[in-house]
Structure 1
Amino acid sequence: MWLSRALSWTVCVSMVLPNAVPGAEQPPLPQSLPKTVAVAAFKNGLAFVVRQGAVQLQSGTGRITPIPNATLGTLWLAPGEANTSLDEVVAYRYNVSAERPIQSIAEVLQANAGKTVTITYSMNMKDYTGEIVGVREWKPSPEDSGAEGSPMQPVVSAKPQYLLLRVDKKLLAFPIGSIANAVLPDDTNFQEKVEQQRTALRFKIKGAGEKTDLTMGYLEHGLGWTPSYMISLADDKTAQITMQAVVMDDAEDLNNTDVFFVVGVPNFAYSETPSPMSLQQNLLSFMKDAGRRDGDNYRMYSNAIAGQMIGAEYKELDANNEPSFAQTVTELSGSPEEDLFLYSRTGVTLARGERATYNVFSSTVGYEHIYEWEVVDPQRVDAYGNVVPYNPNSPDATAKNSIWHSIRLKNTTKFPWTSAPTMVISGTKPVSQDTLPYTPKAATSNLKITIATDIRSSHEEREVARQQNVQRRHGYEFDLVTVEGTMKLKNYKSKEVKVNIDKTLRGEVETLSDTGKAVKLGEAIQTDNPLSRLTWEIPLKAGEERVVTYRYKIFVRG
């Protein structure tokens, strides 16, 4: 019943709606997007773009083009005047007449039909002068198409084109590929008029006058930054650290724009899903794409579209003359949480496709030389006492057990240090390059320099005691084995150094020499052989040799 009524209503409406009248007034062409005033760029190639500028209105309606390639849920518009509100935003397509350069000789001849041209026919190298009638494609006859249902079908090849030329009241056809030369008149047209489809946004503002100061924001791909550091070692205690930001712009034309380089881990759940307002997908493709990209979150996502689940986070927005979206939903308020840090750069001018490097900061910081030894042993017994078979393809432990010369830097600057490639120099000489980890203000980080060949190390473990059949579980008997490890260090340098030793092992730690520290980790605490981390800080004078020992017990299945 309801279906028949709906169909009847549709028929009635279609009968009373007027048809398009030729020559009727066309809607005004949209104006260009407002100027880009600010960009927050992330290291993963995402950027939040803010545009602001005056947009002309007709009866409260404005039009802007093109539609940005915004991601889902990030395209927002807001008027800047008091007592105004955004009523609706519509994404639509429209056609414009444009000219494009003609690429081929066939297109040039076709676009200049009616004009006189002289061609040279390559088959006999004769010249022919006449009026261009047009260019036609050869169409095969039914006999050339093969019998219907025949298993042998002709090979489809490119269709040959022919120039139709009226010469002395005769119509001649010349294959385009056989025209060796063509003499064209001075008024030859090398441009072709075409209809181009473009996209735009139509929006309506309540309470607005003839124009509005529109603020527009959206998240898009194609504009990001990557950091890098240079550390210049001034002496044995101070260094100059300089940070640079390399901006890669494949999305926006920036002109005197404020750019913010964001440090932190952004959480944009739908950054890989295009906004429906960008008119890039139909509804079916959009829903399939969202489900494929969001995985387990798709049910919540689809329910949100259906109106069955509603969730929101409200941020307190400024209401001054700066670009703001506060008046889009004026009744919402809240308090912000800031877990990201932004380096700022004003007055950036960068065209789409360009790259630029900017110095972010430079400061003097303190550092100290340290030597790090991470002792690595192949696993022989697992957490449950099972013997792990020897793997002959395991990496060489000698390379892993090398002692690294590092520098420990303290961040006394006004900025956190984001994780980035770091070049270390001494004067004008390169020293090393590695990754400086993320370092908050007032924190310290270690940066590897090179392997310390002047500090030799060796390490071995041996069994010193065994208690057999100390427990029985699940039909298996376990031995309790006592293992003693020995680590030897010798300093061949002409100065005193400090070596930090770090080792992880399975078992119950009993003793550590040289004021070492043992921390039992929470991993697999229900097992017989817990995981522990051992650390030492060993000072070594010039030429000194030290022996560091530890002892632990471990259950081994008999």
Structure 2
Amino acid sequence: MMKIRRRLVLALVAVSLLAMGLGVQAGFEPPIIETVIYPDGLAYLVREGEIAPENGECVLDLLPPALSGSLKVYSPNPGLVLEQVVASRDQVLTEQPIADLPELFRENTGKSIRLSVHGEVVTGVVKGFVDPAYVVVGVTNPKGNNVDEIYPLDLISSYHFLEPVKLHKEKTDYTGKLRLRFREAAFQGGAYPVGISYLQHGLAWSPEYIINLQSENSGELSFSGVVTNEAADLVNTTVYLAEKGPQFPPGLSPLVIFSPGEDTVARRGQLTVMGVQSEKMSYAANLETVETASLIMYKTRNPVTLKKGERILLPLFRGAVRAESLYQVRLFRPLYSTEVAVEPVWKVYRIYNNSSIPWIDGRVMLTMADRPLGMGEFPYIAPNQSGEIKVMTEPGINVTAKEVEFERIQGQMVVQGTEYAFVRIRGEIEVENTKDTEIKLKVSHQVPGEVTAIGEGGAAAKKAVLQAGPNPTSELNWEVRVWPQGKSKLTYTYQTYLPLEKNIR
């Protein structure tokens, strides 16, 4: 008897060891050791781990939804040569609790039931359920015939099944695997490092700024990255946050698609440059910048743990920033209008970038002495440049504009069957400051034509040629100071081509 027990114990131990060995091969899922996250929902994931191949093969319990052309399987060991990768999937049946009445009736078709409908008791057999809210019951009518009756759920005050019912339903899922084959001659026994990298949707990050002004000319800038994870668990993962830039092709890799309906069009991923380097900027202790030939990213010094479905805010840096208070107004003259459109005057803060790296665009909250002034868009600001952030409209500054045609030559040009007249126009912008303090105002005006003259302090630049006609779009810019209760006039001249059926007066 003792010998039989001993043999049985040894057999169980052997089976357990065998199961453990098979578990390494069939259940191995390399952890995510590194990820590069882009703002628009794409992430580059790198998984690595060690596994002991058998006969040159190993199985990864993983089939990621990789974008087409991005999936790479490798080994950091240069002596390990990959020969092939086979993707497969297994059907898995799982039980889920029934969540609502429609599911309850569907899963218990054929079961006897007693209903209370509008005060009447009905006994029969469940035949099915019709969306959105009707249960079908087979009953016997007074004539003894079997008929199917439809009862709305909102008329059923109670129900009672007359036999045991199913409270769970089966759901069919699929689990994917990758079987890797390496050149067998390279193995000398033991475990070897194996890695897989790919682009996948589900991880994204967005920049958030807070600028706390201590005065009209200085403040403190805080920059954080908010990461959302709907892809896979990150456990002690090195995280890189990159800005927009290159484009990635849409669509999933054919290796991970087993039926045409599974493929989804991937959104465009983008990547560019971001970062801040300045003696005046004080980086958080967990951040460093990483530069490659065409990419600058933020790398968190400390590993990040973020489960699927979670979000995290990562402080990136905080430091002093130079600011300038001014006002801004934009004007434009449509091609087919005789009037100049004037937008509201805004109070803005000009933020200076004294670093060697561009600042990414994002959301920003402006505060003064820790009291909110407003929220807006933080513009992309190149090194040694500045950008403006709108705060509020200013009713105390009035801006008006008028334009007068002083020369016209009929029929000077024909474009796509439309005849145009050559016209010269003289314009004037008047700024009135009703405030009791001096102001600095930035004025931008777009006109459909080429600027030939501009008043003192102004600058003009040709932007683009309009598709609807022969004119370029030109932008005129001034920065003027206006005394308290004072006025200022800005003048300019431009030439344009106007369709003959449209006259300017």
**Residue in 1 aligned with 2:397?**
455
Does structure 2 conserve the Cα–Cα contact (< 8 Å) formed by 1:46 and 1:222?
yes
Query: In the aligned structure 1, how far is the partner of 2:257 from the partner of 2:419?
Result: 69
Q: Is the 8 A contact 2:238 2:299 kept in 1?
A: no
Corresponding residue number in structure 2 for 1:544: 486
Q: CA RMSD in A?
A: 4.3
TM-score by length of 2: 0.70
Match of 2:304 among 348, 364, 374: 348
- Output the CA distance in 2 between the equivalents of 1:182 and 1:345: 62
Alignment-mate amino acid for residue 376 of structure 1:
F
Q: Does structure 1 conserve the Cα–Cα contact (< 8 Å) formed by 2:67 and 2:200?
A: yes
* SS in structure 1 at match of 2:242: strand
| Aligned CA distance change for structure 1 residues 33 and 214 (closer, same or farther; 3 Å) | same
1:71 aligns with 2:48: no
User: Could you tell me which residue of structure 1 aligns to residue 95 of structure 2?
Assistant: 100
Contact 2:431 2:487 (C-alpha < 8 Å) held by counterparts: yes
Matched residue, 1:210: 190
Q: 2:67·2:199 contact (CA, 8 Å) conserved in 1?
A: yes
Give the counterpart of 2:378 among 421, 436, 446: 436
- Deviates further, 189-198 or 420-429: 189-198
CA contact (8 A) 2:57 2:182 kept: yes
**Pick aligned residue for 1:248 from 225, 228, 232:** 228
* 3-state SS of paired residue (2:303): strand
Counterpart for residue 276 of structure 1: 254
Describe the shift of the 1:82–1:553 C-alpha distance in structure 2 as closer, same or farther (beyond 3 A): closer
* Contact 2:240–2:298 (8 Å) recurs in 1: yes
Change (3 A) 1:539 1:57: same
Structure whose CA Rg is larger: 1
Residue 7 of structure 1 corresponds to none
Distance 1:537 1:179, change over 3 A: closer
Aligned positions of 1:14-413 closer than 5 A: 28=22, 30-94=26-90, 100=95, 103=98, 197-206=174-183, 207-208=186-187, 209-270=189-250, 273-281=251-259, 337-344=293-300, 346-380=302-336, 400-413=342-355
In structure 2, stretches of 5+ residues that fail to align are: 1-17, 116-124, 129-133, 140-157, 268-291
Distance 1:108 1:532 in 2: 69
SS of residue matched to 1:263: coil
Change (3 A) 1:197 1:378: closer
Q: 1:191 offset after TM fit, Å? A: 8.8
Judge conservation of contact 2:222–2:317 (CA < 8 Å) in 1.
Answer: yes
2-side partners of 1:438 and 1:483: how far apart?
35
Gaps of 5+ in 1: 1-24, 111-119, 124-135, 140-155, 162-176, 295-335, 381-387, 391-395
Preserved contact between residue 102 and residue 108 of structure 1 (Cα < 8 Å): no
- The amino acid across from 1:341 in the alignment is M
Q: Distance in 2 between matches of 1:421 and 1:344?
A: 21
Q: 1:489 to 1:57 in 2, by over 3 A?
A: same
Amino acid across the alignment from 2:429? M
Residues 529 and 80 of structure 1, relative CA distance in 2, 3 Å threshold: closer
**C-alpha contact (below 8 Å) 2:126/2:136 kept by paired residues:** no
Counterpart code for 1:278: V
Of 511, 518, 533, the match for 2:475: 533
Cα deviations by residue, 1:382-402 (Å, 9 ceiling, x for unpaired) = xxxxxx6x8xxxxx976x432
Give the residue type in structure 2 aligned to 1:277: L
The answer as to whether partners of 1:227 and 1:243 remain within 8 angstroms in 2 is: yes
Aligned equivalents of 2:213 and 2:137: distance in 1? 70
**Distance in 2 of aligned mates of 1:443 and 1:205:** 53
Separation in 2, partners of 1:74, 1:508: 48
Q: Call closer, same or farther: CA 1:181–1:350 in 2, change over 3 Å.
A: farther
Contact 2:399 2:430 in 1 (8 A): yes
* Structure 1 residue 42: Cα displacement: 0.8
How far does residue 249 in structure 1 lie from its aligned partner after superposition? 0.7
* Paired letter, 2:211: I
Residues in 1 aligned to 2:174 and 2:469: alpha-carbon distance in whole angstroms: 67
Instruction: Give the strand-richer structure, 1 or 2.
Output: 2
Distance verdict in 2 for CA 1:426–1:222, change over 3 Å: same
Deviations 1:80-108 (A, max 9, x none): 22411111111123466x76366599999
Give the whole-Å Cα distance in 1 for the aligned partners of 2:105 and 2:334: 72
Asked if 1:516 corresponds to 2:496, the answer is: no
* Cα distance change, pair 293–219 in 1 and its aligned pair in 2 (3 A): closer
Corresponding residue of 1:492: 434
Q: Distance in 2 between matches of 1:525 and 1:71?
A: 36
Distance 1:201 1:451, change over 3 A: same
Q: Give the TM-score of the pair, scaled to structure 1.
A: 0.64
Q: Is the 8 A contact 1:55 1:211 kept in 2?
A: yes
Q: Percent identical across equivalent pairs? A: 22
Q: How many residues align?
A: 415
| Aligned AA (2:330) | E
Deviation at 1:179, TM superposition (A): 5.2
Q: Name the CA shift for 1:472/1:541 in 2 (closer, same or farther; >3 Å).
A: closer
How far apart, in 1, do the equivalents of 2:392 and 2:42 lie? 35
Deviation per CA, 1:17-72, whole angstroms, max 9, x where unpaired?
Answer: xxxxxxxx999451231111111111111111111111232122111112111111
CA drift of 1:502 comes to 1.6
* Residue pair 2:464, 2:473 contacting (<8 A) in 1 also: yes
Q: Distance in 1 between matches of 2:171 and 2:375?
A: 54
Evaluate the alpha carbon distance shift between residue 195 and residue 467 of structure 1 in structure 2; reply closer, same or farther with a 3 A threshold. closer
Cα shift at 1:214: 1.2
Please report how far the alpha carbon of residue 269 of structure 1 lies from its aligned counterpart in structure 2 after TM superposition.
1.4
